[in-house]
Structure 1
Amino acid sequence: MKRLGTVVGAGVLLLLASACANQQESQDNAGGDTRPTETSAPAQEQPDRQPARTPPSGGEKVTTGQIDSTALSKNYPVMVWTEDDGMTVGVVAQEGGCGKASVENAETEKQVTVTMIETTPKAPQACTMDLRYPKLTTELKAPLGDRKVVLKNVERKS
């Protein structure tokens, strides 16, 4: 008998919830068009290109044969480009939560070492659990030319 009361009570609640939902739906559709609407971006705007796979407009991608990424952490994005006739090297860095990405470079006649740095706060704090891939650039003293680009990444505390 007790079980029957529980089943009947649950059925009444379900009936009431469904009646309220139908009433709200009727009010929403009462005075307007019920056809679904479609939204889109204006025709002149292009969607953002994949940040870790394409250089920015005007950038020239450096070939994979010219890049040494063996010192990077696993799954770190690898994309290098040049701008300003090879005087600027760009990379895709990685940062997350409270981290902030930056780059440093060191040049020799044969190679340019680009170190991507993620700086995080020393003191523990609540941070989001997201990853971001900012495109960063660094100025060179001489055009990149045929020099090798060596990529490294480090974490620092501020």
Structure 2
Amino acid sequence: MKRLGTVVGAGVLLLLASACANPQESQEPGTGSTTTAESTAESTAPSTTPDRQPARTPPSGGAKVPTAQIDDSSLPKGYPQLVWTEDEGTSIGVVAQEGGCGKASVEIPEQSDKQVVVLMVETIPAKPQACTMDLRYPKITSELDAPLGDRTVVLKSEQRKA
């Protein structure tokens, strides 16, 4: 009797192991037909052209500001450093960083003939509250008094409580 339990248990274990090894079937929406995971993987092969990466490419119509024209020495390590201009250089855009309950905004506290200071502000709630643990990178633009031209863009960041 003990031996029969061992044989049945081994058979069940073998059945479970073989079921896990087979490709899973899934139904493609709207077709009524099933495909295996293997054939689905073939149909979703990566394309040869990479997708635009929001934190690394300016929006359509934006002209990326050259890295040599950006002073990002005040930014924390890992902070996005994408800067672009629009509207013939009269509008400047940056990728800011916000997370959880924070909300990003941009200020231009200083504009001179040599540089433009762009302050990226994350405003967080004054009172502690439950927030998600995600990071978002919104693209934000601000108007300049004059076209950027060859002026240096000084990037700074700050966190404030609402």
TM-score, normalising length: structure 1: 0.75
- The correspondence of residues 2-21 of structure 1 with structure 2, limited to 5 A, is 14=13
Inter-CA distance 155–17: structure 2 relative to 1 (3 Å threshold): same
- Where does residue 98 of structure 2 map in the other structure? 95
How many residues get paired? Answer: 146
Question: Are 2:61 and 1:74 equivalent residues in the alignment?
Answer: no
Q: Distance in 1 between matches of 2:89 and 2:68?
A: 17
Query: 1:103-122 alignment to 2 at 5 Å?
Result: 103-106=106-109, 107-122=111-126
Residues in 1 aligned to 2:130 and 2:80: alpha-carbon distance in whole angstroms: 25
CA RMSD of aligned residues (A): 3.4
Q: Percent identity among equivalent residues?
A: 61
* Pair 34,64 (structure 1): closer, same or farther in 2 beyond 3 Å: closer
Q: Distance in 1 between matches of 2:160 and 2:33?
A: 57
Judging changes above 3 Å, is the alpha-carbon distance between structure 1 residues 33 and 68 closer, same or farther for their aligned structure 2 residues?
A: closer
2:157 aligned partner: 153
The change in CA–CA distance for 1:14 and 1:47 in structure 2 (over 3 A counts) is same
TM-score normalized with structure 2 length: 0.73
Q: 1:8 to 1:128 in 2, by over 3 A?
A: farther
Q: Alpha-carbon deviation of 1:119?
A: 0.6
- Unpaired stretches in structure 2, ≥5 consecutive residues: none
Amino acid at match of 1:81: W
CA drift of 1:111 comes to 1.0
> Against the structure 1 CA distance between its residues 70 and 12, is the aligned structure 2 distance closer, same or farther, given a 3 Å change threshold?
same
Superposed displacement of residue 48, structure 1: 5.0
Task: Tell me the SS of whatever aligns to 1:149.
Answer: strand
Q: Helix, strand or coil: the match of 1:113?
A: strand
Q: State the Cα deviation string for residues 77-111 of structure 1 (Å, max 9, x = none).
A: 11111000000000011111111110000312221
Change (3 A) 1:120 1:13: farther
SS of equivalent residue, structure 2 residue 68: helix
